[in-house]
Structure 1
Amino acid sequence: MNIAQLQQDLKDYANEIGIDKIGFTTAAPFLELKNRLKRQQELKFQSGFEESDVEKRTTPTLLLERAESIISIAVAYPSKMTDAPKGKKGERRGMFCRASWGTDYHTVLREKLRLLEAFLHEHLPEVKTRSMVDTGELADRAVAERAGIGWSAKNCSIITPEFGSYVYLGEMITNLPFEPDVPLEDQCGDCTLCLDACPTGALIQGGQLNAQRCIAFLTQTKQPIPEEFRKEVGNRIYGCDTCQTVCPKNKRKYNLDQESFIPEPELVKPLLQPILKLSNRQFKETFGHMSGSWRGKNPIQRNAILALAHFKEVAAIPDIELLLHTDPRPMIRQTCAWALGEIGTEESRNALERALEKEADEAVLNEIKKTVTKMTATQ
């Protein structure tokens, strides 16, 4: 079959099934990326969620025998929510980042890639393919950049001219010699708004991220968030959009066309106190279809406690004290102790002093003592 015609037919089909952009590149190694990833590992800037084998991340032929090309896809997600609920005293709300609005993007993009694979197999039954979304070995952004989907921006996102950086990425390695697309020129210019706005200074320089300082990463960890970052989390209970929302290239990029990603306002901006009381089953039933649920309820509950501390929500003291006294998870109890100190009332101080009498975990006990000492010094 004529490869050029198949490539055009594939582009047309991609459009039919709701893929917003499709690009092609070779399966040549990503040599520049290899050097960058090794440097990131040396600096301990990696999140730990990604594939640790740099060779696999940068050598497509290790993932598919006789790989010839890579197909990159982008699907846009919304940046705007209509009828967003407003929090108020006694009814504070948290926020899931935009990349967790609607149905889990892994599910949506994997289905679109499955359809593309089926299309190719229908036309060429002997074709070899391997697809991945986000959690695969290849670096999605590096593939998308080389395939002309967008340019790699200073905020470490791929920015597309059509949809800004609000796009999900996926790719498919094939043994077909598709014609590669031309990469786009970098259009960030001398703008540094994302670097300047990062709440924790996680963007070290344009295109370099220390994931260990990134709020999006910190909200997904399963340990207590280091104290220096707790106030910066604000009311974010999953992810962070700051480096995208300040970007001029994202201005007026609302991207409301993909029905799968239209947010449910009460879920993406949920009331905080009910989150503290969710069982595992209730959490899965409520949030399980969202990508922000992938780490389970523990990090979300911890982040909800931090958010209540951010608001200094006095009405939440009884709920937080109950967790401090009864929750089996040291991470949650430690976060509760810090949160009560931030709320800073006599009631919260009394709750901490009561907890001193029964707490056995050393880390939690230290947090309580440190908090009580700090409260005493500031009174």
Structure 2
Amino acid sequence: MDVRLLKKEIIEYSKTIGIDKIGFTSASPFTEMKNRLRIQQELNYQSGFEEQDIEKRVTPSLLMDSPQSIISIALAYPSKMKERVIGKKGERRGIFCRASWGTDYHIILKDRLKKLEEFIAEKVPGAQFKSMVDTGELVDRAVAQRAGIGWSGKNCSIITPEFGSYVYLGEMITNIRFEPDTPMEDRCGSCNKCVEACPTGALVQGGQLNAKRCIAFLTQTKGFLPEEFREKLGNRLYGCDTCQTVCPENKGKDFHFHPEMEPDPEIAKPLLKPLLHISNREFKERYGHVSGSWRGKKPIQRNAIIALAHFKDETAVNDLIKVLNEDPRPVIRGTAAWALGKIGGENAKNALLKAKETEADLEVLNEIEKGIELCS
């Protein structure tokens, strides 16, 4: 088997199935990443969503017998909407981050990796593969960096010269030994814009993220959002793009190669008030195909309530009173109480005073007290 020829054929084939960039690296352990992950763990900077076993995250041989190489792929996604919708008074809108525009990227990348596996299997009978996207054990960025896809930026994203950091990543471990590609040189230099722009100071320093302070993580939590972060959330419903939008490498980068990644503006930037009363079934039907729906409707609804408070949307007061009085979930009732306080007005204050008399949950009562104080 001519592995050099095979690599060339894989690269050519990848272009025909919608893979925008492909790179190859060895399956040796990611020793530098291991040290970084240990430090993250010691500092309690991890989100809790990742694979907890550090060895599995950095040792391909624990994931597959006799691995020889890892193939890394990148797909560019849009940074701008072709059709725009604009919120206005009484019709305020929230926003899903770009990584939740269009069809869930896990589905798209798994499709490309499966096609790649089938292509290689035809050429090399007996070839073995283990593919993963985002939720797999390996650190996508570490693989992509070593495979020459791009460099690991200070914003903790892989930055490619062609597409900036607006790329989805996936990888495939295989038992075929390919010649590895050369890692790319870091081009961030003295630029520190992402670190300085992070709304919550989650980028502790270039390349180090305290995930527990990251808005992208916080939008996915299900409990009460700590008060220090509520003002920072703005109208974000899921994710955060600030550290990408300020990056000079992303200036002018906007690619529309994949139709399934195109956002429906009414889903990517939805009206806030209807989200407060949406049923589970309606939520699944409307938002189930986007990656931002994976935690269910509760975090999205909580964030929508905070966004209405951010806009001080007086037209939402009656909706929020309904939520405060009728929603069975303490987090949603309590967040509505706080939002009513932020918006203020006699109607909001009277509703809070009335709810205080009947509310039994201590956390909700605490939020009602905050709301009353904000109204005063």
Q: TM-score, normalised by structure 2?
A: 0.99
Q: Percent identity at matched positions?
A: 65
SS in 1 for 2:186: coil
SS in 1 for 2:309: helix
Superposed displacement of residue 167, structure 1: 0.2
Aligned equivalents of 2:159, 2:370: Cα separation in 1: 44
Superposed displacement of residue 360, structure 1: 0.5
User: What amino acid sits opposite 2:14 in the alignment?
Assistant: A
SS in 1 for 2:82: coil
Superposed displacement of residue 375, structure 1: 3.1
Aligned residue number for residue 8 of structure 2: 8
Aligned equivalents of 1:100, 1:118: Cα separation in 2: 28
Aligned equivalents of 1:174, 1:16: Cα separation in 2: 21
User: What amino acid sits opposite 1:200 in the alignment?
Assistant: T
Residues 152-175 of structure 1, C-alpha deviation per residue, up to 9 Å, x if partnerless? Answer: 000000000000000000000001
Segment drifting more, 127-136 vs 366-375: 366-375
Aligned equivalents of 1:239, 1:191: Cα separation in 2: 23
Aligned equivalents of 1:29, 1:166: Cα separation in 2: 27
Aligned residue number for residue 268 of structure 1: 268
Superposed displacement of residue 82, structure 1: 2.0
Aligned residue number for residue 252 of structure 1: 252
Residues 174-197 of structure 1, C-alpha deviation per residue, up to 9 Å, x if partnerless? Answer: 011001000000000100110111
Aligned equivalents of 1:345, 1:211: Cα separation in 2: 36
1:114-263 counterparts in 2 under 5 A?
Answer: 114-263=114-263
SS in 2 for 1:81: coil
Aligned residue number for residue 41 of structure 2: 41
What runs of 5+ residues in structure 2 fail to find an aligned partner?
none
Aligned residue number for residue 59 of structure 1: 59
Aligned equivalents of 1:140, 1:294: Cα separation in 2: 19
SS in 1 for 2:10: helix
Superposed displacement of residue 350, structure 1: 1.2
Aligned equivalents of 1:61, 1:40: Cα separation in 2: 23
Residues 52-78 of structure 1, C-alpha deviation per residue, up to 9 Å, x if partnerless? Answer: 000000000000110000000000000
Tell me if the contact between 2:219 and 2:237 (Cα under 8 Å) persists in the aligned partners.
Answer: yes
SS in 1 for 2:232: helix
Aligned equivalents of 1:73, 1:339: Cα separation in 2: 43
What runs of 5+ residues in structure 1 fail to find an aligned partner?
none
Aligned equivalents of 2:351, 2:145: Cα separation in 1: 53
Aligned equivalents of 1:63, 1:244: Cα separation in 2: 32
Aligned residue number for residue 88 of structure 1: 88
Aligned equivalents of 2:169, 2:310: Cα separation in 1: 33
Tell me if the contact between 2:341 and 2:373 (Cα under 8 Å) persists in the aligned partners.
Answer: no
User: What amino acid sits opposite 1:43 in the alignment?
Assistant: L
Tell me if the contact between 2:345 and 2:375 (Cα under 8 Å) persists in the aligned partners.
Answer: no
SS in 2 for 1:349: helix
Aligned residue number for residue 343 of structure 1: 343
SS in 2 for 1:204: strand
Superposed displacement of residue 347, structure 1: 1.5
Aligned residue number for residue 22 of structure 1: 22
Aligned equivalents of 2:345, 2:200: Cα separation in 1: 28
Aligned residue number for residue 353 of structure 1: 353
Superposed displacement of residue 371, structure 1: 2.5
Aligned residue number for residue 367 of structure 1: 367
Superposed displacement of residue 370, structure 1: 2.6
User: What amino acid sits opposite 2:16 in the alignment?
Assistant: E
SS in 1 for 2:106: helix
User: What amino acid sits opposite 2:26 in the alignment?
Assistant: T
User: What amino acid sits opposite 2:308 in the alignment?
Assistant: L
SS in 2 for 1:305: helix
Aligned equivalents of 1:62, 1:305: Cα separation in 2: 44
Aligned equivalents of 1:240, 1:374: Cα separation in 2: 27
Superposed displacement of residue 373, structure 1: 2.7
Aligned residue number for residue 331 of structure 1: 331
**Structure 1 runs, 4 residues or longer, greater than 4 Å off:** none
Tell me if the contact between 2:219 and 2:303 (Cα under 8 Å) persists in the aligned partners.
Answer: yes
User: What amino acid sits opposite 1:68 in the alignment?
Assistant: Q
User: What amino acid sits opposite 1:289 in the alignment?
Assistant: H
SS in 1 for 2:134: coil
Aligned equivalents of 1:283, 1:237: Cα separation in 2: 14
Aligned equivalents of 1:291, 1:371: Cα separation in 2: 33
SS in 2 for 1:190: coil
Residues 129-159 of structure 1, C-alpha deviation per residue, up to 9 Å, x if partnerless? Answer: 0000000000000000000000000000000
Tell me if the contact between 2:24 and 2:69 (Cα under 8 Å) persists in the aligned partners.
Answer: yes
Aligned equivalents of 2:4, 2:329: Cα separation in 1: 58
Superposed displacement of residue 358, structure 1: 1.0
Residues 24-83 of structure 1, C-alpha deviation per residue, up to 9 Å, x if partnerless? Answer: 000010011101101101111000111000000000000011000000000000001122
Superposed displacement of residue 259, structure 1: 1.1
Aligned equivalents of 2:241, 2:374: Cα separation in 1: 32
